[in-house]
A and B are shown apart, each in its own frame.
Chain A
Amino acid sequence: MEVSTMMSSTVQNLMNVTFDWLNSTLDVPSVRAVVFGFNIRGHLFIEVFLLVVILFLLSQKSYKPPKRPLTNKEIDELCDEWVPEPLIPSLNKELLYEPPALESLDCLPGQVSTKMSKCYNAFHKKLLESCTASLDKYGVGSCGPRGFYGTIDVHLDCEARIAKFLGTPESILYSYGLSTMFSAIPAFSKKGDIIVADEGVHWGIQNGLYLSRSTVVYFKHNDINSLRQTLEKITTENKRVKKLRRYIVIEAVYQNSGQIAPLDEIIKLKEKYRFRILLDESNSIGVLGSSGRGLTEHYGVPIEKIDLVTADMGRALATEGGFCTGSTRVIDHQRLSSSGYVFSASLPPYLASAAISALDILEKDPKLIKKLKNNIAVLWKGLSGISGLTIAGSQESPIVYLKLKKSTGSMQEDRRLLEAIAERVLKEDSVFVVASKRSTLDKCRLPVGIRLYVSAGHSESDLRKASESLKRVAKQVLGGS
């Protein structure tokens, strides 16, 4: 108790002494200020003190985290430590598939095997003649891109011939089928534009969509209602949509399913929502329609309604390269804006002349298409009731696409089953069919299957034999289910 009073009195004393000293040193009237009745002495001193503190703090640099860039030594260490992944993942056994090498490429029956590959229309002799003549005159390669003396007169003739065949104003030749679509799409669709595409489009188109950097919306595979909903949604949701370029990208006959796109209905939607159509006719030129002019003829739609038609000539036209056809404006734009056209060497001239004669033959000989259609029907009939497999494609489609009735759940497992069938069919009956392969890059998630490409070169007995063989092997492999 005493101690505490002593302490307090000492403190009081000390304070008094301090204030006295302050009073004596700062004995000016203003020092003695009265605030709320209290006599505060020596406040000027405190204010000056505070001011000094503020000035001191202000003079200090504001706090910044120290910037310390990596020293060279540290970078060296980081570089030493960094371990890259291997360039390619380790290979497993599945990767080591080697496709069978063929000794000859005859689509005609009675040779090594009954080949079910993409030569839809077999026209041989005249093609060979025109190719030989062209090889003699122009050599093999064109040795330059189209802009720089790689344009050979047959290229121009071929472009004109294709345009005439399809009834369009102009067309443009690409030197490879795969590059046609992935060059043409980015030429017309840029960042911000809208593309509505089928989810089953092949990789060439997928790549084009990606490279265009446009807004891409997929609709359900070959589903007209899904397309309608997608278009409706885009048109109502986006206010600026009128100012953007809008496209629908479809394939005439889907490579990945063999189905035919319902063009007549798509045209109605297109006109309602004002979208342009980019149509890939790779599998339908020379096949669909009464004279082989493709999907537009098949549905009786005037070709002007389609803004851009592309096609791979490595199918029914039995040559290589691709073309794109449409209005003069659309085609001319590609001649400087389409990277696969500008930056690539042009199509070897003999392949262009092969395309010309293929079209000539197609126009002169409508029997070929009739034969092909007949063949498709024969194969369909032959394959009806095949166990464990169903035909996914449309009735007129040249791609007869067999998929598993009951998927095992994993795409790899499915493929293994199908490959087993294909292998046995080739081994036991010399019928060459292939299970569809999917690249790891391919975004298409449609079920895998066995693709049969019907050709006019097949005879009915070939096809019967093929379907019998498939039926038998499928039953053995997949069981009777």
Chain B
Amino acid sequence: MIAIPYLTALTTYFSYGLLFAFGQFRDFFRKLIDWSKANTLQGYAPICLGLEDFYIRRLYLRIQDCFGRPISSAPDAWFDVVERYSNDNNKTLKRTTKVSRCLNLGSYNYLGFAAADEYCTPRVIETLKKYSPSTCSSRVDGGTTVLHNELEKYVASFVRKPAAIVFGMGYVTNSAILPVLMGKGCLIISDSLNHNSIVNGARGSGATIRVFQHNIPSHLEEVLREQIADGQPRTHRPWKKIIVIVEGIYSMEGELCKLPEIIAVCKKYKAYTYLDEAHSIGAVGKTGRGVCELLGVDTADIDIMMGTFTKSFGSCGGYIAGSEDLIKYLKYTCPAHLYATSVSPPAAQQIISSIRVILGEDGSNRGAQKLAKIRENSNFFRSELQKMGFEVLGDNDSPVMPIMLYNPAKIPAFSRECLKHNVAVVTVAFPATPLLLARARICISASHSREDLVKALQVISKVGDLVGIKMLKIVGVIESICVWIVIVKSCPSSTRPRASTPMVFEDQAAKVVVQKLREEGEENRRLVISEVILNEWINGSSKQNPAKVVTYQPIYEGIKGLQIVRVIMKQTQKTQLHGVKKKSFMGSQSGSGLVDMDKDSRTIREQQVSLERDVLVSPEGENGVGDPHGARAGWTVGKKGFAAGVKEQCRQVEALFRRNSLCLAMMERKLRLRSEPTHSR
């Protein structure tokens, strides 16, 4: 869930309002001119009408150069973007022959199979010569080659299901399968942010559709209970069957699905599960087998697994994997199988070869390297972006990271400025996102080198300053100091960094911390730090934040590296505080596994004006362990008294810390990273 700061929401609404007003103004004159001319419609109703058409003509066309930029090379880590120009205020864009070589942060080329590959490409070309570019017929009408059968076997074993069926397009996979499985008297419960293909498929099925709040298992349970108890609308007959549809990685949020919890709920209520792994298959998990592998879910618990080959495998098409009976039934009745042209043989070969590479069946370890690389790249990039103060959505390990832009004017600004510096980013606006939540989306690939990413970060940081989207700057300071606390308090005394260790902190607050540390004795340090942090955070480093610490109080002393401080903030500046609160959810998400914040984050959202809050500073979630760059402190603002409930979890964290002295080393390394004059500042 994204909570928009009030001020931002206001300015965004204002911007759209202004665009709308000017658009209507221009439409008025357009009508006058058209009226004086002869009517061209001749008795037909206009073919395009309504707000949608208005949106395209008056809003979208103004910035259409930011979308659909043609490229003239493979969508690899670097690609050639064709330059375009317009002579009529962006209404039409003409291609030039000039290209600019740009860093590609837009394509879903997660594993880098988009470009020519030493293993895949020769095989693909061989296949092309043996078969033709297309089978020219549907699967049942002679479009099934041995290659297709082989592909289905490979896919089934890759996703660990007994059988699979493949289609020529991912979108069609969703929208043609759902009508086959569900019909009248059935219920589809869909995540609120599911992809359009699922929405269309659900609509096409004629089943009743209910939506649960994005990625909140407790709400799913609520909906399920209500629906099972109520039955079908009006007749109150029991539902024939219920299916819950979720995605592995949400493409516009970069979030991982809370699959274990959702599966547990579905099992409890006997609902079937449908998992769309369009973005996650191949991209996450130790051997690239998607979210199930990453989150430790048994694939047998999922009834229908869907995915696409467009992303990680660099091909086209989609699959459904499930029980043998399910696949047989689909082969008998699914219109996409019976009527649509089968997967193009070279594309099928590309999928087979890339799966072989991922599994190491090509005789090299390139697949494992790619998987390690994308994880490392994604986590590095995400943590750096967050440090810079961008509002980045999504979870660790996810290669998709949206940066919130909100204001419509920032969409073209961000996109064009980045392109000027030869970094191609995707900006997303309505209709792909809600109107207010425009964002830039970055997709990281295994083919990006560290230098590429560093360059991208430099450019994005610069452009972010220019465009004004570093909305959470204040958090960066806090975070660095939290890490400090963790290290000071949790290192064994021999390895503990001394106060005199030379540190290059640019943050004013941090300097004061170091200064204070030098002055104080060992045992008082912790207290001092918390005092300094809060004072500096609130009064020092950011003058414009009038919130003030009235009192602080270490509540829970028993744990090294963890502290809970009670803060009372003034509610005078809602935006700032809001920003802080919002970050708190994100902190909790990235601190994954530490604190289950579902409930608490909702209570926070509900009680936007309450005075006393506990701040829980936690060192590191499990995810960070073993990840050289993801080491990051999470922190959470909760209701007064909330902290007490976390004590149990704190104890677990303590145990975790004892087990993993590794974690401390991570922290130290991170500190070193910070202390070097890095690219990020």
Residues of A at the B interface (CB closer than 8 Å) are: 70, 74-75, 78-79, 82-89, 91, 94-97, 99-107, 115-119, 124, 127-128, 131-132, 135-144, 146-153, 155-156, 175-179, 182, 188, 190, 202-204, 207, 210-211, 242-246, 255, 274, 276, 307, 312, 314-315, 318-320, 329-330, 332-333, 335-337, 339-340, 342-345, 347-348, 350-351, 354, 432, 434, 437-442, 451, 453
Q: In the bound complex, what is the Cα–Cα distance between A453 and B243 (angstroms)?
A: 40
A178 touching B172 in the complex, CB below 8 Å, given contacts A78-B229, A79-B228, A329-B48: yes
Q: In the bound complex, what is the Cα–Cα distance between A85 and B316 (angstroms)?
A: 34
Q: Is the CB of A148 within 8 A of B333?
A: no
Q: In the bound complex, what is the Cα–Cα distance between A345 and B195 (angstroms)?
A: 13
Chain B, 315-326, contact with A by CB distance < 8 Å: what is the 0/1 string?
A: 110000000011
Cβ of B408 to closest chain A Cβ, rounded Å: 15
Chain B residues with CB under 8 Å of A345's CB are 108, 170, 308, 310-311, 316
Which of B233-241, B462-470, B494-502 is near enough to bind chain A? B233-241
Q: B67, B325, B333, B432: which contacts A439 (Cβ < 8 A)?
A: B333
Residues of B at the A interface (CB closer than 8 Å) are: 42-50, 52-53, 55-56, 60, 67-76, 79, 81-82, 95, 104, 106-109, 113-116, 120-121, 124-125, 128-137, 139-146, 148-149, 168-172, 175-176, 179-181, 195-197, 200, 203-204, 224-225, 228-229, 238-243, 268-272, 303-304, 308-311, 313-316, 325-326, 328-329, 331-336, 338-341, 344-347, 350, 424, 426, 428, 431-432, 441
Q: Is the CB of B142 within 8 A of A117?
A: yes
Q: B125, B145, B338, B426: which contacts A103 (Cβ < 8 A)?
A: B145
Q: Is the CB of A143 within 8 A of B114?
A: yes
Cβ of A168 to closest chain B Cβ, rounded Å: 15
Q: A128, A307, A333, A437: which contacts B338 (Cβ < 8 A)?
A: A437
9 interchain pairs (CB within 8 A)? A82-B228, A82-B238, A95-B332, A101-B148, A141-B113, A141-B313, A211-B204, A348-B316, A434-B140
Q: Is the CB of A453 within 8 A of B270?
A: no
Q: A202, A337, A340: which contacts B339 (Cβ < 8 A)?
A: A202
Q: Is the CB of A97 within 8 A of B332?
A: yes
Chain B residues with CB under 8 Å of A148's CB are 67, 106-107, 426, 428, 441
Chain B residues with CB under 8 Å of A88's CB are 181, 325-326, 329
Q: Is the CB of B136 within 8 A of A151?
A: no
Q: Is the CB of A451 within 8 A of B141?
A: yes
A99 touching B203 in the complex, CB below 8 Å, given contacts A131-B133, A143-B314, A149-B75: no
Q: Is the CB of B53 within 8 A of A333?
A: yes
**Inter-chain residue pair count (beta carbon < 8 A):** 363
Q: A147, A330, A434: which contacts B141 (Cβ < 8 A)?
A: A434
Q: A83, A95, A182, A319: which contacts B328 (Cβ < 8 A)?
A: A95
A152 touching B71 in the complex, CB below 8 Å, given contacts A178-B336, A179-B172, A434-B141: yes
Q: Is the CB of A319 within 8 A of B134?
A: yes
Chain A residues with CB under 8 Å of B350's CB are 140-141
Q: In the bound complex, what is the Cα–Cα distance between A205 and B309 (angstroms)?
A: 25
Q: Is the CB of B107 within 8 A of A318?
A: no
Chain A residues with CB under 8 Å of B326's CB are 87-88
Q: Is the CB of A101 within 8 A of B145?
A: yes
Instruction: Give the interface centre of A175, A335, A339, A345 by most chain B CB atoms within 10 Å.
Output: A345
Which chain B residue shows the least CB distance to A149?
B106
Q: Is the CB of B270 within 8 A of A84?
A: yes
Q: Is the CB of B43 within 8 A of A149?
A: no
A141 touching B229 in the complex, CB below 8 Å, given contacts A176-B171, A339-B196, A354-B133: no
Which chain B residue shows the least CB distance to A144?
B107
Chain A residues with CB under 8 Å of B204's CB are 207, 210-211
Which chain B residue shows the least CB distance to A190?
B50
Q: Is the CB of A344 within 8 A of B136?
A: no
Q: Is the CB of B228 within 8 A of A101?
A: no
Which chain A residue shows the least CB distance to B43?
A274
A343 touching B195 in the complex, CB below 8 Å, given contacts A140-B315, A148-B106, A155-B70: yes
Q: Is the CB of B125 within 8 A of A132?
A: yes
A176 touching B229 in the complex, CB below 8 Å, given contacts A118-B136, A203-B339, A276-B47: no
Q: B114, B169, B228, B338: which contacts A344 (Cβ < 8 A)?
A: B169
Chain B residues with CB under 8 Å of A89's CB are 329
Cβ of B30 to closest chain A Cβ, rounded Å: 14
Q: A79, A105, A202, A351: which contacts B131 (Cβ < 8 A)?
A: A105
Q: Is the CB of A84 within 8 A of B124?
A: no
Which chain A residue shows the least CB distance to B339?
A203
Q: Is the CB of A117 within 8 A of B143?
A: yes
A149 touching B426 in the complex, CB below 8 Å, given contacts A95-B332, A131-B346, A143-B75: yes
Q: Is the CB of B315 within 8 A of A314?
A: no
